[in-house]
């Protein structure tokens, strides 16, 4: 996804990352945040549980390039996945 955007936009506008209550969602969100930061991209990593609509709203309100939500949603409870939101939520 990062290849689709200008490097300056990514560095300045950033990405928001949140997680839900699933097993190790917080740990996975921190790994994703560290990986994105390594590319020089600003990251807003939430420090508490969130819900998907909040990540969507945050990405829209603060004009982030995209938002990432770590969740299992419809997966079995021992699995995690991600939802990705663009600037339009």
**Span 33-85, pLDDT tens digits:** 999 999 888 999 998 999 989 999 999 988 888 899 999 878 887 888 899 99
Top CATH class of 16-86 equals alpha beta
The residues, any chain, with a CB within 8 Å of residue 76's CB and separated by 6 or more, are none
Which of the pair, 25 or 2, is modelled with greater confidence? 25
pTM of the model: 0.86
Determine the distance from the C-alpha atom of residue 39 to the mean position of all C-alpha atoms in its chain, rounded to a whole number: 15
Does 12 have pLDDT greater than 70?
yes
């Amino acid at each position: 996804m990062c290849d689709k955007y200008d490097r300056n936009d990514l560095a300045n506008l950033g990405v928001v990352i949140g997680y839900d209550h699933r097993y190790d969602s917080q740990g996975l969100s921190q790994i994703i945040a560290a990986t994105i930061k390594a590319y020089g991209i600003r990251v807003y990593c939430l420090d508490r549980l969130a819900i998907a609509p909040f990540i969507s709203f945050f990405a829209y309100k603060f004009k982030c390039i995209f938002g990432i939500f770590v969740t299992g949603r419809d997966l079995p409870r021992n699995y995690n996945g991600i939802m990705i939101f663009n600037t339009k939520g």
